[in-house]
Amino acid sequence: MRELWSGNEATARGIYEAGVKVGSSYPGTPSTEIFENLEHYDDVYSEWAVNEKVALEVAYGASIGGVRAVTAMKHVGLNVAADPLFTASYNGVNAGFVVITADDPSMHSSQNEQDNRHYAVAAKIPMFEPSDSQDSLDMIKEAFNVSETFDTPVLFRTTTRICHSKSIVEPGEKQDVPVVPYEKKAAKYVTTPANSYARRPLVEQRMRDLAEYAETSRFNIVEMNDTKVGVITSGIAYVYAKEVFPEDTSFLKLGFTYPMPEKLIRDFASKVDTLYVIEELDPFIENFVRTLGIDCIGKDKVPVMYELNPERLREALFGEKAKFNALPEKVVARPPALCPGCPHRGLFVTLKKYKKAIVAGDIGCYTLGAAPPLESIDCLVCMGGGFTLAHGLAKAIEMSGQEDRVIFGLVGDSTFFHSGMTGAAEIIYNKSENGVKVVPIVLDNNITAMTGQQENPGTGHRMKGEIASVVPIEKILEAIGFAKVLVVDPQDLKATKAACDEAIESDEPTAIVTRRPCVLIKRIKHERRRCIVDRENCRKCKMCLKVGCPAVFFKDGKSFIDQTLCVGCTVCMQACPFDVISLAKEATV
């Protein structure tokens, strides 16, 4: 049986074949489809956790409990989960435990481009790096064996191009892995300073043992050909290098990249006249090679930034570039936009009315509130940062004497559970008396939308569709200390403006929840309406265009609404000062 699978599909299959019983993840591009595929394997309990730290802890708990367990996240997710990872390294495992990090070179869907291979070094844990889908399947299985043999969490580092590229895979059989009976081992699993102190040398010994394993791992492969040129490489860079170097080039393909196989590298390097180290992003392998006193060609030529491809590599190494026609100047970009009917649009249209506002945003579809024509977001850094950036901004603005300012902090529903709740508590706990007002707003669209519609604690459903109890956002805010929590439909512009005004003017801490489900949620039956323009009476003021809806344009100098795209949310209708937009009479479902 041969399948054309993405790296993520193959990874999910490998997890299943490895006999894994528990998986916990938080969605994030490019890792999301690993668990979206894993959920179809009934033998594996899999769940969306509230954040990456929680996911890693859940999976680690399952490992301590005696079953093979896995967690997956995007690269920045591992920053969130780093705390338990670094200490799980000391404790070791009971059953196999693998942490998947999916890095995003070129930042296709990310806020930075960090190279998470450095985490393996910092946390002192072994690491695998697949180069394609078959590698993904085979290596994740071996990762669980390594975890159990060496009593360690294992890092499985993949990248966007491996996650989202399809290549031919031959799946194997599911391994039957017995549960390891749980026994209390407090000295191993309770990380008091004394216990950790005692385990510290075991970590060093383990890394020495793993360095031995690296020498003979079946994933560190020598392809010896002509000895003029040798290439050491890993991950996706391997397939690019195979494209670019002549066919008789010798390769050392490292699939197990930490700790690195010193003897294997020395031996390979000694056999070739010129050594290249080809890798995407940082000089991770190269730095090690250089510490061995071995000279090589690497990042002096190969860029440290952005995703590689065969042509970039060819140009960097050999100065050759395929001839091509330049992009014609007139090509217009197709920037991403909030969907027609997106509930977030109404809030951003409203926030734009506050000229003295500073808005701290967050990660999600609502990041698009920063794009023209809405342009309502001033700053944005990471998941859960919306409330806390707002709090810090308020302190600074107070000190600069601009007391007529108001600071809005935004987080989405999934982001609120992820790490926004702690920021809400911070705002209450450290609020200034009579200072600059901070208004936290939860944009609750009842789904984790940006990554493709995953459930979260507010949606009432779990990963596999089971009914779950709803964790109520407004009650949490009340319990934290907000005297008033105003819940509004963001599609009602008047009500949304009134809620913002009330929150700003209130003497007591006030939070807002804008609540309306995402228009893309499949399990909800959405009322489908359409707005139409009375073009004869259109005064061409373009206010309707300011809502930034893909369904609303100007055609022949007047407003026009694309009836195939419009869902009748009425935000443009409410924005029109001349009442020439109305709902079409017949309602269609």
Partner 1 sequence: MSDVKSIVLIGVGGQGTILVSKILTHALMEHGYDVKMSEVHGMAQRGGSVSTQVRFGKKVHSPLIGEGTADVLVAFEKMEAARGLPQLKEDGILIANDYEIVPLPVAAGRLEYPDQILEALNEKVKVISFDAAGTAEALGQVRAMNVVLLGALVEALNLTELDVRKSVAELVPPAYRDVNLKAFDAGRQLAKEHLHA
Distance CA 159, CA 131 (A): 9
The least CB distance from residue 577 to partner 1, in Å, is: 18
Q: Shortest distance, CB of residue 310 to partner 1, whole angstroms? A: 5
Q: Which residue, chain included where needed, has tokens 């594996």?
A: 44
CA proximity to 534, closest of 550, 557, 558, 568: 558
Q: Of 167 and 491, which has the nearer Cβ to partner 1? A: 167
Shortest Å, Cβ 520 to partner 1:
9
- SS3 for 32-89 is HHHHHHHCCCCCCEEEECCCHHHHHHHHHHHHHHCCCEEEEEEHHHHHHHHHHHHHHH
| CA 583 to each of CA 173, 532, 561: distance values in angstroms, whole numbers, following the listed order | 57, 6, 11
Beta bridge partners of 4: 168
C-alpha–C-alpha distance, residues 147 and 493, integer Å: 55
CB nearer to partner 1: give 44 or 169.
169
Beta carbon of residue 468, minimum distance to partner 1 (angstroms, whole number): 27
If the CB atoms of residues 30 and 509 are measured against partner 1, the closer one turns out to be: 30
Cβ atoms of 118 and 284 closer than 8 Å: yes
The encoded tokens of residue 49 equal 């956790």
Scanning 257-384, the segments in alpha helix (DSSP H) are 262-271, 284-291, 310-318, 344-351
Separation between Cα atoms, residue 119 and residue 122, nearest integer Å: 5
Complex with partner 1: residue 153 or 548, whichever CB lies closer? 548
The separation between the first and the last C-alpha atoms of the chain, rounded to the nearest angstrom, is 43
* Identity of the residue, 311 or 398, whose beta carbon is nearer to partner 1 in the bound complex: 311
- Based on CB atoms, which residue is closest to partner 1, 132 or 444? 132
Nearest-approach distance from CB 552 to partner 1, in angstroms: 7
**Minimum CB distance to partner 1, residue 357 (Å):** 23
> Is the Cβ of residue 186 or residue 333 nearer to partner 1 in the bound state?
333
Q: How far apart are CA 290 and CA 294, in angstroms?
A: 5
Find the shortest distance in angstroms from Cβ 401 to partner 1.
Answer: 37
Task: List, in sequence order, every residue forming a beta bridge with 3; answer none if it has no partner.
Answer: 169
* Longest CA span, the chain: 82
Give every strand in the sheet of 274-278, ordered side by side: 220-223, 250-254, 229-234, 274-278
Closer of 45 and 348 to partner 1 (Cβ):
348
User: Which three-class secondary structure state does DSSP give residue 429?
Assistant: helix
Backbone angles phi, psi at 552, to 5 degrees: -105, 120
- What is the contact surface with partner 1 in residues (CB under 8 A)? 2, 4, 108-109, 132, 161, 164-168, 239-240, 242-243, 309-312, 314, 321-328, 330-337, 339, 368, 372-373, 450, 542, 545, 548, 550, 552-554
Q: Is 479 helix (H, G, I), strand (E, B) or coil?
A: helix
Six token digits for residue 171: 């799946």
CB of 373 to partner 1, least distance (A): 7
In this complex, which beta carbon is closest to partner 1, that of residue 8 or of residue 116? Answer: 8
Compute the least distance from the CB of residue 79 to partner 1, in Å: 20
Tell the smallest beta-carbon distance from residue 548 to partner 1 (Å).
Answer: 8
Q: Least CB distance from residue 329 to partner 1, whole Å?
A: 9
Tokens 């078959």 belong to 134
State in angstroms the smallest separation of the CB of 168 from partner 1.
Answer: 7
Locate 406 and state its tokens.
Answer: 């108001």
Between 84 and 369, name the residue whose CB sits nearer to partner 1.
369
Cα separation, 515 vs 528, whole angstroms: 18
- Tell me the CA distances in angstroms from 62 to 46, 89, 149, one per residue in order: 12, 15, 17
Of the candidates 332, 90, 343, the one whose C-alpha atom is nearest the C-alpha of residue 196 is: 90
* d(C-alpha 473, C-alpha 512), whole Å: 10
Rounded to the nearest angstrom, the gap between the alpha carbon of residue 420 and the centroid of all alpha carbons in its chain is 16
Minimum separation from the CB atom of position 425 to partner 1 (A): 31
Nearer to partner 1, 99 or 102 (CB): 102
- Closer CB to partner 1, 165 or 227, in the complex: 165
Of 174 and 314, CB closest to partner 1: 314
CB of 450 to partner 1, least distance (A): 8
What are the residues whose beta carbons fall under 8 Å from the beta carbon of 349, sequence distance 6 or more?
374, 493, 546, 547, 571, 575
Q: Which is nearer to partner 1, 181 or 557 (CB)?
A: 557
Strands 127-128 and 154-159: parallel
Q: Of 118, 124, 115, which Cα lies nearest the Cα of 153?
A: 124
